[in-house]
Structure 1
Amino acid sequence: MAFNAAQYEATTQKLTTGIQTLSEKVSQVGPKAESTANHWYVPDFIGDALIWAANKVIEFGNWVLGKLKELMEGVAAPVYMAIHTWTWQSDIRGGASGVAGTTTADQLQSLKHWTGEAATSYTNAVKAQPIAAAKIGTTADKVATGLALCTTAGVAFYVSLAVILAQYIVTMIGAIAALGSVVFSWAGAALIVGDTSVSVGYIITAVTALAALLGAQAQQMAAIEGEARDMTTYPNGHWPVAAPGA
């Protein structure tokens, strides 16, 4: 999936606005429950159920807010990964493939005017150049692929968070309305708490799925580092010598 900067910006804006809205809703829970519980016609056991439910709703709401704010610290990561994906593909891989193409034996212009033992020796010496350049291109392509997958995973993760947040705000609005109702019971209190705790599980599931995917990508990056340290193409860790020894 190609990265769409405008769509992703819209997603991050929804998250930012949603977090502010959720914070406002959480702050309304306590006063609403206390106002209802303090009515003269509300029995003590109903008032106790209201306050208990309100405290639980606030507890879950604050957890969700804290987790969302924590996760938002990495919201810019997909943007930077998309930029670096382009750099690795177009600049590094493209440049390396250009070097590989222009240093092959049939592309060396000097050999059209130069023959003999020296020319042959030079041709043999330069054989390692396109191979070394192609190695850079291959590694760059793998890095770009890993970054692209991480970008896609990051975008999908924050889109899912935006959906979860929107649903949670609706649930919170319903909880506030229920806490303002005089038709209440301990069963109703448990139902409200259950509804507001569902999104906690959704967030944990989303984070777990993202961590698993990025863990796999970390393994791929480790393999790329190992490939970059391969001395086969770069003798003693250096670019192969392009001039004949004698």
Structure 2
Amino acid sequence: MFSMAQYEAVISEIEQGTKTFEARLAEVIPAADRVSSQWYVGEVLGDLLQWIARKTVEAGTAILNFILDVLKGATAPIFMFIDAYKWTDFKATANGVSTDLTAQNLVIDNTDWSGKGHDAYLTAASAQATAAGRVGSIAKAASDNLLLCATAGLAFYIVVAGVIAKLIVEVVAATTAISTAVFSAVGAMIFLESGAVNTAAIVTAVGVLAAFLGTQVNALVILHSEAVDPTSFPNSAWPKSNSAQYNDGTVNDGDADWSLKGG
């Protein structure tokens, strides 16, 4: 289930996390510079530390750019949720109209009005009720699918938030390791390997999200099919509700489709 408060908290966490991660990345190369300049660090080891630091920053920057890129679509689930909510209001209105126009709610005492006009009126009203009911059905489908999309977006960004939080811990550990010449290579390589794993996790999440959104495209096709279904919308139009749809709108000449009983 989609929660606006939870989603906003997740996005805020990601945005803050990217800033923290970027700041921690900026500390990696200076840490390597400090260690490699020490008298007890040989030239070969110093060059290795510099290389590891650069590769660490390159890998981290690539991951950061990837996360910033997927954040560009962060507002989409919010609008999906808002639109899903609006569609429920539309559904309620359409279903209310459909209910009001059912034959049970429009039956008129035959002693007051009967004949072809009476029957034609109920037939026309029934078509209106069916059409309004179809609109309600379409609105429900639209709302359900938008909510599913929003929920999928929330799940995706929760994954991203978890990855960025883990990366912050790892880059801090890598910086600390680089600061000590003995463990610098091991620490940095651990970060590089873990960063690749986390990037793969995000790519996998994007793939899952893309596949899910693909099902929404199918849903849009189904919604379009329902909208143009002539069963409820004759000639792809709203059913007519007045005497113009009948051959004769008069009521007094004895042969009108809307003739009153005894007219």
Instruction: State TM-score, norm by structure 2.
Output: 0.86
Give a deviation string over 1:3-53, Cα, whole Å, max 9, x none: 322222211111111111011011111111122122221122322221221
Give RMSD over aligned pairs: 1.8
Report the alpha carbon displacement of residue 121 of structure 1 after superposing the two structures with TM: 2.1
Number of residue equivalences:
244
Aligned: 1:96 with 2:94 = yes
Is 1:78–2:77 an aligned residue pair? yes
Please identify, of 109-118 and 226-235, the stretch whose mean Cα deviation from structure 2 is larger: 109-118
Q: Secondary structure at the residue paired with 2:27? A: helix
- Distance (Å, rounded) in 2 between the aligned partners of 1:95 and 1:67: 43
| Counterpart code for 1:177 | T
Distance 1:111 1:124 in 2: 16
In the alignment, what sits opposite 1:147?
146
Sequence identity, in percent? 35
Task: State the 1:204 CA deviation.
Answer: 1.2
Structure 2 gaps, min length 5? 249-263
Q: What is the deviation of 1:85?
A: 0.8
Letter of the structure 2 residue corresponding to residue 93 of structure 1? K
Amino acid at match of 1:105: A
With normalisation by structure 1, the TM-score equals: 0.92
The structure with the greater share of residues assigned to helix is: 1
Deviation at 1:238, TM superposition (A): 1.1
Question: What is the match of residue 24 of structure 2?
Answer: 25
CA distance in 2, matches of 1:171, 1:196: 8
| CA radius of gyration, larger in | 2
Closer/same/farther in 2, CA of residues 101 and 188 from structure 1, 3 Å limit:
closer
What is the aligned partner in structure 2 of residue 47 from structure 1? Answer: 46
Shift of 1:58: 0.8
Using CA pairs below 8 Å that are at least 6 residues apart, which structure has the higher relative contact order? Answer: 1
Q: Are 2:84 and 2:147, in contact at CA under 8 Å, matched by a contact in 1? A: yes
**2: CA distance, partners of 1:205 / 1:49:** 33
1:137 aligns with 2:136: yes
Check the 8 A contact 1:60/1:200 in 2, yes or no: no
SS of 2:174's equivalent in the other structure is helix
Q: Is residue 107–residue 122 contact of structure 2 (8 Å, CA) maintained in 1?
A: no
Quick one: structure 1 residues 168 and 186, their matched pair in 2 at CA, closer, same or farther if it must change by over 3 Å? closer
1:234 paired residue number: 233
Q: Tell me the alpha carbon deviations over residues 63-95 of structure 1, each in whole angstroms, 9 at most, x when there is no partner.
A: 111111111112122211111111111x21111
